[in-house]
Amino acid sequence: MLQAAHISKKYGSLEVLKDVNLSLSRGEIVSIVGSSGAGKSTLLHILGTLDQADSGSIQLNGTALHTLTGAALATFRNRNLGFIFQFHHLLPEFTALENVCIPAWIAGTDKQQCEERAVFLMGKLGLGGKERNRPGELSGGEQQRVAVARALINQPELVLADEPTGNLDSKHARELHDLFLSLRAEFQQSFLIVTHNRELAAMSDRMLEMKDGQML
């Protein structure tokens, strides 16, 4: 489903990624662990087309992501990729429901259809009744689940999560990983998770390790 080959990236003289190869199957959950500075987040951002590699290729279901630019790239990203970050990046002036709907609105989905799916996802994530709350009225765990619903609203092929449990206590961190497992079982989406938490990473189908810009 995802094939990344010979990904390399430098920032000035700093070589952040060195000939990295990675593959992911449909419905698979893969975690990448490693110390800070290992290149994990840079790789995730490149795979998610938020950054560009200096060399290498990325294929998602036969589409060569490294060849897309401009509006074509933005449209593909919006419709096929979901993002969950350590910091939720929710818009404080919007309700939880509106935050979840934003990617679907960008995709041009009918407003009522957006809201119906958002309500469904929020219910699945234990957020029923919180639709009209603004982010400041939600706990940290609830805000993270809003971000998960937002990542899933367009039914992406691949969900990319960068330290999604970094601001959660151990109980809520485990609950979030359990949630990824249940979502995979129900929707057959693939998840690529960058994390420092090896215990939680071990719950994935595969745990990969990076060091000094390379896969071990």
CATH, residue 7:
3.40.50.300
What's the domain count of the chain? 1
Residue 100: per-residue pLDDT: 93
User: Could you give the CA distance from residue 54 to residue 40 in angstroms, rounded to a whole number?
Assistant: 16
Domain hosting residue 9, numbered range: 2-215
Q: Give me the DSSP letters along 7-39.
A: EEEEETTEEEEEEEEEEE-TT-EEEEE--TTSS
Q: What is the CA radius of gyration of the chain?
A: 17
Q: How many CB atoms lie within 10 A of CB 103?
A: 22
Q: How many CB atoms lie within 10 A of CB 93?
A: 10
Dihedral sign, CA of 54, 62, 29, 82?
positive
Predicted TM-score of the model (pTM) = 0.84
Nearest Cα residue to 90 out of 105, 104, 101 = 101
Segments of 61-165 assigned E as strands: 63-64, 81-85, 158-162
Give the tens place of pLDDT for each residue, 122-138.
888 888 899 999 999 99
Give the tens place of pLDDT for each residue, 21-54.
999 988 899 999 988 888 888 999 899 888 889 9
Residue 167: per-residue pLDDT: 67
Give SS3 for 121: helix
User: Could you give the CA distance from residue 207 to residue 139 in angstroms, rounded to a whole number?
Assistant: 29
With 70 as the cut, is the pLDDT of residue 90 above it?
A: yes
User: Could you give the CA distance from residue 191 to residue 204 in angstroms, rounded to a whole number?
Assistant: 9
Q: Do the Cβ atoms of 82 and 152 come closer than 8 Å?
A: yes
Question: What is the residue type of 160?
Answer: L
Residue 46 vs residues 9, 102, 111, 139, 188: alpha-carbon distances, Å: 9, 22, 31, 31, 23
Residue 162 vs residues 41, 142, 173: alpha-carbon distances, Å: 7, 17, 13
Q: Which of 12-26, 121-135, 161-175, 188-202 has the lowest mean pLDDT?
A: 161-175
